[in-house]
């Protein structure tokens, strides 16, 4: 992407040289990410950056390619083109080159799924312990010490329980710790999935529509949790979200995708008043209109539009 286009599109365009909208240290740099499925171009030359200690929201209508971006980042898909650089304290990782599960294991990118993927017949606590698998595996001497019941492993397990307990307390799930995860109410399952991702001790957290299907109270709890993770753990969060009140309320930086292309990139204020975004969400014939107070109304309009598209 050339400098002219960046200038032409003003503040809401990609400018990888400058500071990230919303501030913060760069944690992730996505450059020219393209993903094709046969003839379908799900993502078309998308570039953006995400910062540490900030919430970067990725929004866009259904089928815009948001989940596909996550799948490329977390090693589930191999991008057709693109460079995905994670700036890790241990050094730089090129995520597009890392084999699936190693993204979480080595690079420390954790994710949740659009349709919840817990281990339903295991207990809540077990879900959080499984998330600390690699650490515990090393502590158990790849099972040998563990079988012998050595102290070293038991201590590591106690520590793992402590970490799990910490996140249980933060997600208000402590009382349900010994219940089967599959029996939890929907909202609790969503928060448990976040807690499980945090138990892998990541450097970047990718959440795919964590607020989908939540009632207002549960949604509020989730927002508080995400802000806690951002502020207290200085964690960079990538957040896919449809609910505009959530997006506008908690994100520091927003990337807007439409039909696989990035159409806007900036702080919530910039994106909210970006004509391209309004067009994408309300259709071509709508006049420019600040999103502002009517965000909720526009969001439902956008949803209806989505359903039409789908």
Partner 1 sequence: MAAKTSASPAGRPFDRQAMLKEAGATGLVIFALAFGLLGFRTLDVPGGIDIQYRFGDVAAAVAIGIVGRIALILLRERRPLPVLLTAPPLAVVLLVVLLSKFLFGPETGAELMRFLPFESLVVMWAILIVIVVLGLRAARVHTHMTSVMTAEERDARMDRIGAKVQRAARLLGPLLLGIAVVFPFLPFADRRLLDIGILVVTYIMLGWGLNIVVGLAGLLDLGYVAFYAVGAYSFALLATGLDVSFWVALPFAGLMAATAGVLLGFPVLRLRGDYLAIVTLGFGEMIRIILLNWYEFTNGPDGISGIPRPSFFGLALFKRNVADGHAFHELFGLEFTPIHRIIFLFYLILALALVVNIFTMRIRKLPVGRAWEALREDETACRSLGINPRNTKLTAFGIGAMFGGFAGSFFATRQGFISPESFTFIESAVILAIVVLGGFGSQIGVVIAAILLIGLPEFFRELQQYRMLAFGMAMVLIMIWRPAGLLAHREPTIRLFGKGRAKEAEP
Ligand X SMILES: Nc1ncnc2c1ncn2[C@@H]1O[C@H](COP(=O)(O)OP(=O)(O)OP(=O)(O)O)[C@@H](O)[C@H]1O
- What residues between 117 and 156 interact with partner 1 by CB under 8 A? 117-123, 125-126, 129-131, 133-134, 136-137, 140, 143, 146-147, 149, 153
Nearer to Mg ion, 29 or 114 (CB): 114
Residues 6+ apart with CB under 8 A from 257: 43, 46, 58, 59, 60, 64, 65, 66, 69, 263
67 interacts with Mg ion by CB under 5 A: yes
Q: How far apart are CA 171 and CA 173, in angstroms?
A: 5
Judged by CB under 6 A, which of 18, 23, 37, 94 binds ligand X?
Answer: 37
- Decide: 84 and 73 in contact? Cβ < 8 Å: yes
Handedness of CA 68, 72, 78, 79 (dihedral sign): positive
How far is it, in rounded angstroms, from Cα 83 to Cα 92? 12
Question: Which of the stretches 44-52, 63-71, 146-154, 296-304 binds Mg ion when contact is defined by CB under 5 A?
Answer: 63-71
**CA dihedral over 183, 185, 188, 194, signed as positive or negative:** positive
65 binds ligand X (CB under 6 A): yes
Tell me whether residue 129 or residue 256 sits nearer to partner 1 (CB atom).
Answer: 129
Could you tell me how many residues make up the chain?
310
Q: Which is nearer to ligand X, 65 or 236 (CB)?
A: 65
Strands 204-208 and 236-240: parallel
- Contact with ligand X (CB under 6 A): which of 51, 64, 195, 254? 64
102 touches partner 1 (CB under 8 A): yes
22's contact among Mg ion, ligand X, partner 1, none, with CB below 5 to 8 A by partner kind, is: none
Give yes or no for residue 207 binding ligand X (CB under 6 A).
Answer: no
* Shortest reach from residue 42's CB to ligand X, in Å: 3
Question: Hey, which residues between 195 and 224 contact partner 1 (CB under 8 A)?
Answer: 196-197, 200
Touching ligand X, residues 92-151 (CB under 6 A): 114
Among 56, 68, 132, 298, binds ligand X (CB under 6 A): 68
Report the C-alpha gap between 208 and 222 in whole angstroms: 13
Burial class (CB in 10 A: 0-12, 13-18, 19+), 163: middle
Name the minimum Å distance from CB 261 to ligand X. 12
- Among ligand X, partner 1, Mg ion, none, what binds residue 103 when CB lies within 5 to 8 Å by partner kind? partner 1
Q: Which of these ranges, 59-67, 98-106, 147-155, 263-271, lies near ligand X under the rule CB under 6 A?
A: 59-67
Q: Does 110 bind partner 1 (CB under 8 A)?
A: yes
Report H helices in 50-174.
66-73, 102, 124-130, 133-139, 144-148, 151-170
Count of beta carbons in the 10 Å neighbourhood of residue 219: 20
Positions touching ligand X (CB under 6 A) are 37, 40, 42, 60, 62-68, 114
């Amino acid at each position: 992407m050339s400098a002219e286009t960046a200038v032409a599109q003003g503040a809401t365009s990609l400018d990888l040289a400058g500071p990230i909208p919303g501030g913060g240290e760069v944690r992730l740099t996505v450059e020219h990410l393209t993903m094709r499925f046969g003839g379908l171009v799900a993502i078309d030359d998308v570039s953006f950056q995400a910062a540490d200690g900030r919430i970067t929201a990725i929004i866009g209508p259904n089928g815009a390619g948001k989940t596909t971006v996550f799948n490329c980042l977390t090693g589930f898909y191999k991008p057709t083109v693109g460079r995905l650089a994670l700036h890790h304290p241990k050094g730089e990782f090129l995520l597009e080159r890392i084999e699936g599960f190693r993204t979480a294991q080595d690079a420390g990118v954790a994710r949740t799924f659009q349709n919840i993927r817990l281990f339903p017949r295991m207990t809540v606590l077990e879900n959080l312990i499984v998330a600390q698998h690699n650490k515990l595996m090393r502590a158990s001497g790849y099972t040998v010490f563990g079988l012998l019941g050595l102290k070293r492993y038991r201590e590591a397990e106690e520590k793992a329980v402590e970490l799990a307990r910490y996140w249980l307390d933060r997600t208000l799930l402590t009382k349900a710790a010994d219940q089967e995860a599959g029996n939890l109410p929907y909202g609790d399952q969503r928060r448990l999935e976040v807690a499980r991702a945090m138990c892998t001790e990541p450097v970047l957290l990718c959440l795919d529509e964590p607020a989908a299907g939540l009632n207002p109270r549960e949604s509020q709890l989730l927002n508080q949790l995400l802000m806690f993770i951002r502020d207290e753990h200085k964690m960079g969060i990538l957040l896919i979200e449809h609910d505009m009140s959530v997006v506008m309320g908690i994100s520091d930086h927003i990337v807007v995708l439409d039909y696989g292309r990035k159409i806007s990139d900036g702080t919530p204020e910039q994106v909210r008043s970006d004509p391209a975004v309004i067009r994408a969400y309300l259709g071509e014939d709508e006049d420019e209109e600040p999103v502002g107070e009517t965000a909720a109304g526009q969001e439902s309009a956008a949803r209806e539009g989505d359903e039409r598209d789908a």
